[in-house]
Structure 1
Amino acid sequence: MEWDPSRFFRPEGSPSPYALLMLNQPINERAFTVLSQHASYIICADGGANRLFDMMKAQGKESTEPRQYGNKYKHVFLKIQGVKHSDLHITQLPDKIIGDLDSIRPSVRQHYEKLNVSVVKDPDQYSTDFTKCLKYLNSHASEIIQSPRKQKVATSRTGQEAISTNESCSVPSPKLEIVILGGLGGRVDQAFSQIHHLYMMTQTQRQLQASSSSQDVSPGAGGNLYLISEESISFVLQEGKNIILTPRTNRPPESETTGSGLSPDEAGDSDGPSSCSEREYYFEENIGIIPLSAPASITTHGFEWDVEDWHTEIGGQISTSNHIRADKVEVSTNVPVLFTAELAQRLKRA
């Protein structure tokens, strides 16, 4: 299985569609600024709407115009007219707010409803606001991939195309990936809850992928989940061989490392880590591989300290503070494990 966490930070945007899910946690503003530019859909889990509103208000960018052509097409129209992206006064409206609505402030709800943002109450007490949002994204994945926001993104990449509603604006990838903005630096119980839900929901996504031929499953459902916190991006590797693309990592020149354990072809083409400026890095070199539900046996390639058939478990040995040494790394495991990589300094929460 291949993972490409770098795709979300590329200036040209991700080659595949993704939704941005905002939890009721402190927002990594720097990451949000980059991620929101190319997201196909932005959804807030209940109190996540408070976080988004407060962040935008603090930046003087809270939306005041109703959702018609406002956010979704402003970039396109102005770009066609030759207005530079840096000259725009960018605002962000969520596409949907979902939850039991016990956390969203009445004033925030009223603000977004006036701007034609859909606010949906889901009273189910047996699921969290996180899982309610994920359920919605999976059931509407196909239409989200074809959504106006996605059309805007596809158009803004070239700056030459007119707004279109035909299939040429869609992205070839059949799965809607989901990037979750949350925090792991606050209460410990909430941090564990997020990791727990990331693990559980990743297994749900795998089941949806396996059932993708069923008429009951949206064609775009079952995409990968990525959790972005204050300083890291984390995701759950699956049983078997996992290839993780890690270009533009802030790591020492190859002459100063002990080798990646991969051949040049396996490691990927690169101009070398020193060829990037600080503003171009996606990751710092630090990573961790953490067993979650059971002890694991892992084999790695492309890190400073590679291992083979290495037993890891909570209460025993775990792999933390290892270092990326290639633009493509590998982790083979007999059970799902958490992989976490440190974001570049420019993408960390201020």
Structure 2
Amino acid sequence: MDTASISPPPTHDWHPAELFEPRQASRTDDSHDVDNKRRAGAPRYAIIILNQPLADNLDRVKHLWDHACIRVAADGGANRLYHVGGQRGDAFFDALDAIVGDLDSLAADARRYYEARRGPDGQPTRILRDPDQESTDFGKAVAYVRAWHREQHKGDGAPLDLVVVGGLGGRVDQALSLIHHLHLFQAGGDDRRDGEGRTAREAGPSGRVYLFSGDSLTFLLRAGRHRIRVRSPADAEDGGGEKSGEKSGDVFGKHVGILPVGEPSRVTTRGLEWDVTDWETRFGGRVSTSNHILPETEVVEVETTKDVVWTMALRGVEGS
């Protein structure tokens, strides 16, 4: 084969700060106006609430909620919304589209509350029980969101990103399960089973999956080249309000990690305090944790031979 004819792998551009940037579009605006603004550059995403406390960084949770195009709670995630919202007399989280799962964790008071509420489309909040024990509540919520997206946007091929709130908190086994699901869902699969009990990956476009834990944002970098914009040019040039190398407009803190979950990888980075070149990373060997984004860096570049998990701290969190 003529190696000169082989195209280089594509470069994937990431703009995670856009999720947290102030903007006018919200679910309460005219739907056509919202769609136009999203097409003009605002990210298009669904939000899934997991069964983890929401008190940490609640303002950012509210921002993500306000600008999501569909809102779903995975089983006991509805309890968490109720505890920080309706139970306190705050209606902010009332407009919930659906509660999805086996419902073994859904509290009676939260269920009664949302049974009396309506989603943003004016329809009652859907409470959908799926008893399948071969899939997780998280997986069922993802499958619901993607089915909704296919129905709403037939033929346009536009991907829908997922922002998962509550990721990587709580029990270690649940946190590792979420990392596993990053691999599954970023590939476009739903956590379903076919007739022979095998995980079924549905064909079709899928968006990017972000795990938001209140103090960090985590996502999967598939084998290839990636450019991760960690701050806007205005932030990098802003000389005021510096703290520990951060600028006043930064969304993210300085700490990042690159984790070789699944299999060893060889990684090259540019834009970090401790950059590496063709560096082997594997569990039981070397892993990159507590690395730092340089104050002048706008875009971090990562090349990886295998899938790795990228995690970055949010600004204002202790230790970030």
TM superposition score normalised by structure 2 = 0.76
User: 1:140 is paired with a residue of what secondary structure?
Assistant: helix
- 1:274 matches 2:239: yes
Determine the C-alpha separation between the residues in 1 that align with 2:86 and 2:98: 19
Q: CA deviation at 1:181?
A: 0.5
Determine the C-alpha separation between the residues in 2 that align with 1:235 and 1:173: 22
**Matched AA of 1:51:** R
- 1:119 matches 2:127: yes
Which residue among 98, 109, 112 is the counterpart of 1:110? 112
Q: CA deviation at 1:345?
A: 1.1
User: 1:111 is paired with a residue of what secondary structure?
Assistant: helix
Name which structure has the greater RCO, CA cutoff 8 Å, separation 6+: 1
- 1:3-40 deviation digits (Å, cap 9, x = unpaired): 11111101016613100100111224232122112111
Who is 1:49 aligned against?
78
2:102–2:130 Cα contact (<8 Å) kept: yes
Matched positions, count:
265
The 1:282–1:320 alpha-carbon spacing in structure 2 relative to 1, beyond 3 Å, is same
- 1:132-168 deviation digits (Å, cap 9, x = unpaired): 111111122145579xxxxxxxxxxxxxxxxxxxxxx
1:242–1:332 Cα contact (<8 Å) kept: yes
Which residue among 261, 264, 287 is the counterpart of 1:295? 264
Which residue among 12, 21, 30 is the counterpart of 1:10? 21
> Mean alpha-carbon deviation: is it higher for 178-187 or for 326-335?
178-187
2:264–2:283 Cα contact (<8 Å) kept: yes
What is the aligned-residue identity percentage? 37
Q: Gaps (5+ residues) in structure 1?
A: 64-89, 147-171, 207-215, 249-267
Which residue among 136, 154, 157 is the counterpart of 2:144? 136
The 1:312–1:92 alpha-carbon spacing in structure 2 relative to 1, beyond 3 Å, is same
User: 1:137 is paired with a residue of what secondary structure?
Assistant: helix
The two structures, once aligned, show a CA RMSD in angstroms of: 2.6
- 1:286-337 deviation digits (Å, cap 9, x = unpaired): 1000000000100001111111100000111101111112111111000000
- 1:231 matches 2:215: yes
Determine the C-alpha separation between the residues in 1 that align with 2:181 and 2:159: 20
- 1:345 matches 2:316: yes
The 1:286–1:195 alpha-carbon spacing in structure 2 relative to 1, beyond 3 Å, is same
TM superposition score normalised by structure 1 = 0.69
Determine the C-alpha separation between the residues in 2 that align with 1:227 and 1:110: 28
Determine the C-alpha separation between the residues in 2 that align with 1:124 and 1:32: 29
Determine the C-alpha separation between the residues in 2 that align with 1:128 and 1:229: 19
Determine the C-alpha separation between the residues in 2 that align with 1:113 and 1:279: 43
**Between structures 1 and 2, the one with greater helix share:** 1
User: 1:141 is paired with a residue of what secondary structure?
Assistant: helix
- 1:19 matches 2:56: no
2:236–2:298 Cα contact (<8 Å) kept: no
The 1:223–1:127 alpha-carbon spacing in structure 2 relative to 1, beyond 3 Å, is same
Who is 2:300 aligned against?
329
The 1:181–1:279 alpha-carbon spacing in structure 2 relative to 1, beyond 3 Å, is farther
- 1:178 matches 2:162: yes
Q: Gaps (5+ residues) in structure 2?
A: 1-11, 26-37, 118-123, 191-201
Who is 1:100 aligned against?
102
> Mean alpha-carbon deviation: is it higher for 196-205 or for 133-142?
196-205
User: 2:115 is paired with a residue of what secondary structure?
Assistant: helix
The 1:339–1:271 alpha-carbon spacing in structure 2 relative to 1, beyond 3 Å, is closer
